[in-house]
Structure 1
């Protein structure tokens, strides 16, 4: 029902989003959600549609995922509930064109996703960008406790966020491996459906697709809407 409502809203508010497509909006969003939620390849989904009497090429499915995964993420992001105030920050590895890139992620102590960012490097600039992305929309809901691993970029990134006003007050920063186990296991859940052989073909492809993987994880966790 949620995906059907999203498809109807996207079609109503921005008709150009589905202009030129050969399939209905609900069918497109359903195909996109299958790829993002389950460990299926594009050819697997092509076969599923063929069993239902519909011929959909796997390259068409790929274009649909790249086009609509960010739109679904943007739509659902508007309804996120505030986090509990205590968050854990960590990064995980993603292979893109044979090289390891870094997905920064934050969850609160209850396991609800706060935000994410795909970065080419694991350094201070990437940590700063991640905190800006996490805090710029809702600085009044800034966390008062931040847990990280022992990576060096996090303390100066937190300090700069405080200096620039993104954090209204300096949060308690603690480094503990025990509390980080929750977000490390959450990394596996979002990476479970990602390509296992060769990884992604380009950084832009990975960035747009990861948006969809995170959205499906929001729904699997029992996404809490703040509105109707």
Structure 2
């Protein structure tokens, strides 16, 4: 999420390791709607520092970009996903990873339309 509360991107992956974190951050930073971040707030997952270090080494992220790993600063992201969690809980999970990916992709798209983040032009 950016500072205005808009969803920048989301990634569902089987493993939440440094490679997945780097892939997510690289994809988000390369998007047309993304500006260079001043601060990146993430949870305490150990995958983020190596990913950010690699992006700084590749000069895709500014050296002045700060990575803040605080459990509760990520709360805005979790609150944004509350709508999705409310829809998926009654279903008691998904049969496979691919069905989860397809279903959540559609739910995220509908959530972005509901928040007015989608343009028809």
TM interval, shorter chain, is 0.7 to 0.9
Cα separation, partners in 2 of 1:186 and 1:140, compared to 1, 3 Å: closer
Radius of gyration: which is bigger? Answer: 1
TM-score (norm. length: structure 1): 0.47
Counterpart CA distance in 2 for 1:198 and 1:185 is 20
Q: Which runs of 5+ in 2 are unaligned?
A: none
Aligned to 2:45: 151
Whether the 8 Å CA contact 1:139–1:166 is kept in 2: the answer is no
TM-score (norm. length: structure 2): 0.82
Q: Which runs of 5+ in 1 are unaligned?
A: 1-106
The secondary structure found in structure 1 opposite 2:81 is helix
The secondary structure found in structure 1 opposite 2:103 is helix
What is the number of equivalent residue pairs in this alignment?
120
Higher helix content, 1 or 2 = 1
Q: CA RMSD in A?
A: 2.3
Counterpart CA distance in 2 for 1:197 and 1:224 is 27
Aligned to 2:3: 109
1:1-228 alignment runs, 5 A limit: 107-138=1-32, 141-167=35-61, 169-170=62-63, 171-194=65-88, 196-223=90-117, 225=119, 228=121
